[in-house]
């Protein structure tokens, strides 16, 4: 056993000695963190928080580049094809990208579990069912009753076809037995803006997007899609409490890099992100946004991609959810 341990230590030491120079040379220039959605949404908020801290840690600027469109696929495609040197990263709502891959296998433009290197998961967040304040519904039961009274007369918004908001809306339609019209947008921010303006009836919004706009008084939260209530919205019941115990939806966020990115670079980024997630101000900001921190190793991050594909593939198939 002692010989085996000594051998393992020697191998690790040799590996570190060989890879250390690459990590020390990184980054050599500005790093870009791509967001596949419009500015102002939940993914954007997380990216901007982490990019500022990561820039300080790396000693080079880390800038956010919003490449919105095609339910986030434009941004994902850009990073998948970028040089695998760690200077182009993706702030990925992994759950949404998994759904995109499953609903649009021919047009997604990337293989989630093959075209990316997992750097680290950073957190997860639930959705909030919000309605326009002009809608008389004060509970999920009220909403279902109103929707059944006028089939097809309500519409719900999403961040785009195949997004987590879209799938959550279709799940709700099926479990509640209601008919509603899906209106896809190029990101969560424009969708929530139209919801506040009364152009939509309701939306399943991520917690950061909902919390940022509830102060306007133009939205009313009816339920959060978690097993337990969340700190950011203590007074809002869960979908379980509202009578839908199987309705649980959360979006996993992760930082990804192009496949074949050198492991020393991936490890350096993972190490810095782990430290950032422990910072008190980052923890406080995540709590305000309703995001649960969830750091991981690079290996765990890439495993999560496969898990998301398996989980949502099974649900989409069993629920017969189709892309518009």
Buried (b) or exposed (e) across 267-296, using 16+ Cβ within 10 A? bbbbebbeebbeeeebeeebeebbbeebbb
Q: What is the structure's pLDDT at 100?
A: 85
pLDDT digits (tens, 9 = 90+) for 169-181: 989 998 999 999 9
Three-state DSSP state, 136: coil
Q: Give me the residue label for tokens 């040089």.
A: 83
Higher-confidence residue of 251 and 274: namely: 274
Vertex 211, ends 208 and 215: CA angle to 5°? 150
Q: How far apart are CA 116 and CA 308, in angstroms?
A: 14
pLDDT category of residue 13 using cuts at 50, 70 and 90: very low
The DSSP 8-state label assigned to residue 260 in this structure reads: T
The runs of H, that is alpha helices, within the chain are 2-25, 42-58, 73-80, 94-103, 140-149, 164-176, 188-196, 207-214, 263-277, 280-289, 298-319
Q: What is the structure's pLDDT at 19?
A: 44
Q: Give me the residue label for tokens 């700190």.
A: 231
Residue 195 tokens, joined: 């919801």
List domains and CATH numbers for the chain: 31-124+252-319 (3.40.190.150), 126-233 (3.40.190.10)
Q: How far apart are CA 139 and CA 129, in angstroms?
A: 10
For residue 16, pLDDT over 70 is answered with no
Q: How far apart are CA 27 and CA 204, in angstroms?
A: 38
pLDDT digits (tens, 9 = 90+) for 18-76: 444 455 689 999 999 999 998 987 789 899 999 999 999 999 999 999 999 888 999 99
**Residue 250 phi, psi dihedral angles, 5° rounding:** -135, 145
Global pTM value: 0.76
Q: Is 156 left (phi over 0), alpha (psi -120 to 50) or beta?
A: beta
Q: What is the structure's pLDDT at 129?
A: 98
Q: What is the structure's pLDDT at 324?
A: 59
- Average pLDDT of the residues in 166-195: 92
């Amino acid at each position: 056993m002692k010989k085996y341990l000594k051998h393992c230590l020697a191998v690790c030491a040799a590996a570190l000695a060989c890879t250390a120079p690459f990590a020390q040379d990184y980054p050599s220039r500005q790093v870009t963190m791509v967001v596949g959605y419009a500015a102002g949404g939940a993914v954007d908020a997380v990216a901007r928080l982490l990019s500022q801290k990561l820039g300080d840690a790396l000693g080079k600027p880390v800038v956010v580049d919003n490449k919105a469109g095609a339910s986030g696929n434009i941004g994902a495609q850009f990073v998948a094809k970028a040089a695998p040197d760690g200077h182009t990263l993706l702030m990925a709502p992994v759950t949404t990208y998994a759904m995109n891959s499953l609903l649009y296998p021919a047009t997604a433009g990337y293989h989630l579990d093959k075209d990316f290197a997992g750097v680290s998961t950073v957190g997860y967040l639930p959705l909030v069912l919000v309605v326009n304040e002009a809608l008389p519904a004060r509970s999920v039961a009220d909403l279902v009753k109103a929707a059944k009274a006028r089939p097809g007369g309500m519409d719900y918004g999403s961040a785009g076809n195949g997004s987590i908001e879209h799938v959550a809306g279709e799940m709700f339609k099926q479990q509640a037995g209601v008919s509603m019209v899906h209106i896809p947008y190029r990101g969560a921010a424009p969708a929530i803006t139209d919801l506040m303006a009364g152009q939509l009836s309701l939306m399943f919004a991520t917690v950061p997007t909902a919390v940022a706009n509830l102060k306007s008084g133009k939205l009313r939260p009816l339920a959060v899609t978690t097993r337990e209530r969340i700190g950011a919205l203590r007074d809002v019941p869960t979908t379980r409490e509202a009578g839908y115990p199987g309705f649980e939806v959360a979006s996993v966020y992760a930082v990804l890099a192009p496949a074949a990115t050198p492991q020393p670079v991936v490890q350096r980024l993972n190490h810095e992100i782990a430290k950032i997630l422990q910072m008190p101000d980052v923890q406080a900001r995540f709590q305000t946004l309703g995001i649960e921190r969830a750091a991981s190793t690079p290996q765990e991050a890439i495993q999560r991609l496969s898990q998301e594909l398996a989980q949502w593939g099974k649900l989409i198939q069993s629920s017969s959810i189709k892309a518009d």
